[in-house]
Amino acid sequence: MNYRIRENSFWARLAAKKMKSDQMAMVFGRTIHLYNTDHREFLSNPRWLRHELAHIRQYSELGFIGFLWRYSIESIKKGYYQNRFEVEARAAEYDHQLEETYTFQPNRKQLMAATPPNRRQTDVPVHRG
């Protein structure tokens, strides 16, 4: 299953403010929204990545509206930390198989950032071995 990353997200910025957090990642469907961090920093933190991938899995299990609805009810009843979706996501931070199930689908800008400036995309060898 593919997932995308959106940097400088308006929604992640709002969430960061509400949570009084310096950096923020949050998920809508199969897109991870980031604030005050970029995809490289985020992807280099396995626990953080797995946590958000667990939320992507929760969306796929319950559907977009289904997840948001249940998540909101949990948050109202139990707060953020005891919310069962957060409990599950925290446990998933140690699930090494999780990141193998999901594939990052970079956007054009993220793809360009991965290509060294002195080397054009067409120079990258297509065949191996």
Residues that bind Zn ion (CB under 5 A): 86, 89
Residue with Cβ nearer Zn ion (12 or 89)? 89
**CB of residue 100 to Zn ion, shortest distance in Å:** 20
Residue with Cβ nearer Zn ion (28 or 113)? 28
In the chain, how many H helices and how many E strands?
A: 7, 4
Cα distance between residue 4 and residue 82, in whole Å: 27
Cα distance between residue 62 and residue 64, in whole Å: 7
**CB of residue 115 to Zn ion, shortest distance in Å:** 32
**CB of residue 58 to Zn ion, shortest distance in Å:** 9
Residue with Cβ nearer Zn ion (21 or 107)? 21
Cα distance between residue 51 and residue 68, in whole Å: 16
